[in-house]
Structure 1
Amino acid sequence: MPKFFEFFSGGGMARLGLGGEWKCQFANDICAKKVSTYIENFGDDEILKEDIYKLNASNLPGKADLIWGSFPCQDLSLAGNGAGLNGERSGTFKKLMSIIKDLKVEKRQPNLIVLENVVGAITSHGGKDFEAIIEALSSLGYYTGCVVVDGASFVPQSRPRLFVIATKTPKTRFFTLISKEPNPEWHPSNLIKAHSALPEKLQKKWVWWSMPTPPNRDKNLVDIVEENPTDVKELGTGEVKKLISMMSETNLEKLNQAKRENGLVVGGLYKRVRKQKNGEKLQRAEVRFDGTAGCLRTPTGGSSRQTLVLVENGEVKARLLSRREAARLMGVPDNYKLPSKYNDAYHVFGDGLVVPAVSWIEKHLLKPIQEAS
């Protein structure tokens, strides 16, 4: 059974996605609420609560076949501060690379590395951060390629994420897993552009990973809604009217269309500050009724919490997304033990991975690469 180390493990969603055919040897996160959730679900044998800056190769037991690292995205996200890989949080990438470098010296270097982050990592600092990521992996002897996977292919949540997949396995052994040209399904135009800007020496170590198209999603937003959630309450009539008053004409028309439909219609709503034609900035309530929720975030402010709008027989109700609904939007099974505090759950899932997206990558890339090594 192949083994893996998991850095920035959060609530263990990479572990869930990799499944029972991979054995976790070590997991690490600095956040107490995430570590406690991890322990609730997987036990405390592998997890270590510690700042990665205080870790080194000696903390890692034996040799892993895979290192998974979903390093913090705050400095790379469009919603972040733009500090890039030199930021305090996203700069943890450099520390992770130094640990892998030490493992190489000790002849414990993993065959596979997967790094996950927001798609903003592709264009951060004019592509310099992306180049630095590819350069770091190439210098350690890895072939590297990337795919952008939107969680919406698997769950009713819009969540595009960049997955950097690197391997030491000789290319001749996994040639069936790569294509000569990029595939728009997994390689959007900004990724193709970023690749073309890489120095020639890095392009020679690049591969275009190939995966099949996922089957049509079998659940929409209405299918993950709890009937009687205990951790959130419906908004009062006045609060609902206030939300509606914050909608633009376009969003009001979406709401009116939902009112005209039969049965329960569920939409996801976020509050956004938008600049008007006259230059004034207004907070707007923006809703979508396409069966897909907006991207989950951590609860850093009131507007970061997603509101569900429930329309049935012309009546409009609204409430915050529940903890279990947030988990379901990440593809987490219902037997997963949730944090008892609402905000803690939002932290765990807002920073998390879409479990079936990880499983798709594992099935069609990681497992075949490992078997070919």
Structure 2
Amino acid sequence: MLSHSQAGTGRAQPMDAGGNMPLNSYGVLKGTVIDRRFASGANPHYQIHVVDDTIDYRIAVNVQSQDGSQVEYVVKSHFAHPLLRDLHELKPGFHPLESKPGGLGLDFIRGNLVDRTEFVPLPFSAPGPDNDLNEKLDHYVQRAMADETALLYAFGERWGPENGKKDKIFGFLPGNGIHDIHMNQGNDARFKKDDGVWQDGGLLIHFPRGDQWVAIFLKFQTQAWHTDDKTGHTLDIPVSGPPSDVAGGGGGLPTVEQPDGIVRIVAALVNDARTPERETVTLLNTSNRKIDLAGWSLADNAKSKMALTGELQPGGLTTVVVQAPMVLSNKGGLITLLNAEGLKVDGVSYTKQQVSNPGWTIVF
């Protein structure tokens, strides 16, 4: 993986109480796109020149891997999530973010931003103008350059300002920017020191005309999806219960080791017209075997959990009434399903707008 040391300052990183050394200077930059460069030669980054009211920044985005770890990507052309409301209120510039739930920090897993199965792997080849991700990024970046109202939000680790040193790509002074624009947890041993929760990178672009949000999320195939809630390190997953009847999860089907999607959150009633305090979540067993929900739980935006019981037959549905301490806010929120081992099985998000009509059920 080539992203963790391409543009950083080399400063020592603070160690947290758990012995983990997460990213230094994690945050989000809000600004206007004025230029870009394709990845080329030995540099596997697509470069974006962004300005706020007074400062220039370079955003270095991995679009290719040269060491066999393979970049995976998701592009969501109509992204919706409750965090967008608060992002919109930020002033232009770089904003340091705390790596904790309930804030603006990104966490692909805990923030229900993206499903693991949505990631598309890039082929292992040299970067260049024909690189698929180069082209996909450039489509939206060029559109942002042509729209004076468009704004880019880049999440990652800041480097600089590098006083007296020009930026090596765009030439502005001083050099300054954001990198690690990708998942920053579940790393292999080489980059384990960068692991942390609520510190993932990503790009969001807002086009106010039409109120369209575009989200671009990146990770590497060497990064694990299930990570420790405190350190972000890869979990040693305990295997219990009946093994999957699909060897290796053939066809992308869930396994005991990778349970993602074996039970899905398919609907939620957040704003009941008749009984405002009554909220429900509907679950679907997608598998061909019975699922015992003993030890499973649902969690809300604040990670407050509600225990589940009962069994789900193959293809079966169940609608559960939400009980305290779990709460589904009418301002938008998250719903996460965890199995008996504490692994995330499914997760969804909903916005304030989606629950603005009392009595209507949201379908995910």
TM-score range, shorter chain: under 0.3
Greater share of residues in strand = 2
Question: Scaled by the length of structure 2, what TM-score is found?
Answer: 0.26
Greater share of residues in helix = 1
